[in-house]
């Protein structure tokens, strides 16, 4: 059996070490005679896995004591709803910066809960090809929070530095770029990420939240939707997705072993640089629609001269073991998702295929 070079956008490739560890522990974890999936979420064996997963997230991201790490269900899409449910009061408004389809979805959900101010929409004139500058943001100093999407998985753009929101809490959907490099968590009121892009399998959502913000959250919503419920119960209010948490633990351990987030950053920048250079140096055969300075290090999107050539490119690449390169159905083109777990060698193979195909 040969494993392919997997450029899927999500669920996405996972570190081989994390998968092999799961394989070796699958039938019997910690000498307990059963799989982690068969353990009670309140038992000692699972509890050790749960707390280790949280501790590794805290260590890798240097999460300050002011913030809590939560392991939840419902995906990033549920966070689109729970963020405003908790923090958008009836007489308030929240600022949203729209940089792609996922930001738009976050806005639609927030609008059901309360008042939304679009601080900036870079896709107003058609396509999402850039990240706005600070001066373009029409921020409301009295906003409940400011919401951004740090990496636009479909459009292929990414915030390289985050906006200054003054005393207004900054809330970020980091689903597709959390842990791509070290991060100053203290700058954020809340960070959320569906695990299935850069840190684990689907079924698990990582949330990192300022406990002072949680304390001010609304209490007129059901317990299950309140961040305070999950902070108070160490994410064990109800049954957690134990196997995805176990896999997150394995991925975090593999990332740590590989040198942590500084090593991830170095490798991710090298991969992106190699791929964008191949696109820009192709005499216009390959074209990246995203402006320089806004280009994503995680999801590299590009076009060929025609949609027919794009389909042919994907088919021929797949035949060579380079899979998952088809762009999102809403935008077409090619997308190479090169998350932490995609090694430089895969990008080298892709670049050499691109030269040969051209
Ligand atoms: C994939 C993705 C989502 C949706 O995640 P689900 O876990 O499927 O709800 C939201 N935001 C971004 C940036 C994504 O990449």
Q: Is the pLDDT of residue 1 over 70?
A: no
Same domain for 79 and 159: yes
DSSP annotation of 291: P
Domain endpoint, select from 227, 257, 287: 257
Q: Which residues line ligand 1 (CB under 6 A)?
A: 10, 75-77, 102, 149, 153, 173, 175-176, 194, 197
The phi and psi torsions of 271 (rounded to 5 degrees) equal -65, -45
Mean pLDDT of 215-225: 97
Mean pLDDT (the chain) is: 97
10 alpha carbon – ligand 1 mean position (Å): 9
Model confidence band, residue 245 (pLDDT cutoffs 50, 70, 90): very high
Locate the ligand 1 atom nearest the alpha carbon of residue 176 and give its number. Answer: 15
Give me the number of domains the chain comprises.
Answer: 2
DSSP letters for 91-128: T-EEEEEE-SHHHHHHHHHHHHHSEEEEEEETTTTS--
Residue 2 is assigned to a structural domain of this protein: no
Is residue 334 domain-resident? yes
SS (H, E, C) 190-223: EEEEECCCCCCCCCCEEEEEEHHHHHCCCCCCCH
Q: Is residue 195 located within the same domain as residue 234?
A: yes
Question: Model confidence over 283-297: pLDDT tens digits?
Answer: 999 999 999 999 999
Q: Looking at the structure, tell me whether residues 92 and 205 fall in a common domain.
A: yes
User: What percent of the chain shows pLDDT beyond 90?
Assistant: 97
Residues 100 and 238 in one domain: yes
Q: What is the pLDDT of residues 43-61, one digit of tens each?
A: 999 999 999 999 999 999 9
Q: Do residues 264 and 123 both lie within one domain?
A: no
Please check whether residues 332 and 216 belong to one and the same domain.
Answer: no
Give yes or no: residues 162 and 32 share one domain: yes
Mean predicted confidence (pLDDT) in 24-39: 98
pLDDT tens per residue, range 144-161: 999 999 999 999 999 999
Q: What is the CATH number of the domain that holds 132?
A: 3.40.640.10
Of the residues 206, 223, 257, which one is the last residue of a structural domain?
Answer: 257
CATH code, domain with 304: 3.90.1150.10
**How close is the Cα of 270 to the center of ligand 1, in Å?**
25
pLDDT tens for 74-131 read 999 999 999 999 999 999 999 999 999 999 999 999 999 999 999 999 998 778 999 9
Do both 244 and 114 map to the same domain? yes
Query: Is the distance from CB of 337 to CB of 261 less than 8 angstroms?
Result: no
Burial of 198 from C-beta contacts in 10 A (0-12 / 13-18 / 19+)? buried
Q: How far is the CA of 335 from the centre of ligand 1 (A)?
A: 16
Measured in residues, the chain has a length of: 358
Q: Are residues 89 and 127 in the same domain?
A: yes
Q: pTM above the 0.95 mark?
A: yes
Task: Report pLDDT for 32.
Answer: 98
Residue 239 inside a domain? The answer is: yes
- Domain containing 78: what range? 17-257
On whether both 189 and 213 belong to a single domain, the answer is: yes
Which residue, 214, 232, 257, sits at the end of a domain?
A: 257
Stretch among 122-131, 320-329, 339-348 having the lowest mean pLDDT = 122-131
Verify whether residue 358 is a known catalytic residue. Answer: no
Is 173 tagged catalytic? Answer: yes
Same domain, 213 and 279: no
Q: For ligand 1, atom 10, which residue shows the shortest CA distance?
A: 76
Residues 240, 267: one domain?
Answer: no
């Amino acid at each position: 059996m040969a494993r392919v070079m997997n450029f899927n956008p999500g669920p996405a490739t996972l570190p081989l070490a994390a998968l092999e560890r799961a394989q070796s522990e699958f039938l019997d974890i910690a000498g307990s005679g059963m799989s982690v999936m068969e353990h009670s979420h309140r038992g000692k064996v699972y509890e050790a896995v749960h707390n280790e997963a949280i501790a590794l997230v805290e260590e890798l991201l240097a999460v300050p004591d002011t913030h809590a790490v939560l392991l939840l269900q419902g995906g990033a899409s549920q966070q689109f709803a729970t963020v405003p449910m908790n923090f958008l009061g009836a007489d308030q408004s929240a600022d949203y910066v729209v940089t792609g389809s996922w930001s738009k979805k976050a806005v639609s959900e927030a609008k059901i809960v309360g008042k939304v101010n679009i601080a900036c929409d870079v896709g107003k004139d058609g396509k999402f090809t850039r990240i706005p500058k600070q001066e373009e943001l029409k921020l409301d100093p009295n906003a409940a929070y400011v919401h951004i999407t740090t990496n636009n998985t479909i459009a292929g753009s990414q915030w390289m530095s985050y906006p200054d929101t003054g005393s207004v809490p900054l809330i970020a959907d980091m689903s597709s770029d959390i842990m791509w490099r070290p991060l100053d968590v203290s700058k954020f009121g809340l960070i959320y990420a569906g695990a299935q892009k850069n840190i684990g399998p689907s079924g698990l959502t990582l949330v990192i939240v300022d406990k002072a913000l949680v304390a001010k959250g609304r209490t007129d919503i059901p317990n299950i939707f309140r961040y305070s419920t999950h902070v108070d119960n160490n994410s064990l209010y109800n049954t957690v997705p134990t196997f995805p948490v176990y896999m997150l633990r394995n991925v975090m351990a593999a990332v740590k072993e590989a040198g942590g987030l500084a090593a991830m950053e170095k490798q991710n920048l090298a991969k992106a640089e190699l791929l964008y250079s191949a696109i820009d140096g192709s005499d216009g055969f390959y074209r990246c629609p995203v402006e320089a300075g806004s280009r994503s290090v995680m999801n590299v999107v590009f076009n060929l001269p025609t949609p027919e050539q794009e389909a042919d490119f994907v088919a021929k690449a797949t035949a060579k073991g380079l899979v998952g390169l088809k762009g999102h159905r809403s935008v077409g083109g090619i997308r190479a998702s090169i998350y932490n777990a995609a090694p430089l060698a895969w990008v080298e193979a892709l670049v050499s295929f691109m030269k040969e195909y051209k």
